[in-house]
Amino acid sequence: MYGSSSRSESLMGAPPPQVVIQQQDTVIRAQDKALDQLSASVGMLHRMGNEIHGELITQSS
């Protein structure tokens, strides 16, 4: 009957836990790299904003 498969039948095609963990680790490492790049960009924008602010303060004095 359709939809009445047992739990073991539905897991037959599932990869072993070690493979899933390795895949998750790869995804997490890629996300970490992207976040590191984003963090560097945000830091640079913060420094530029501070420099612009300093210049505007100097010019308005």
In the chain, where are the structural domains located?
A: 16-60
**Residue 52 pLDDT > 60:** yes
Distance CA 40, CA 16 (A): 37
The reported pLDDT for the residue numbered 61 is 86
Residues 5-30: tens digit of each pLDDT: 555 545 678 999 999 999 999 999 99
- pTM score of the predicted model: 0.66
Sign for the CA dihedral angle at 8, 12, 16, 22 comes to negative
Residues 34, 51: Cα–Cα separation, whole Å: 26
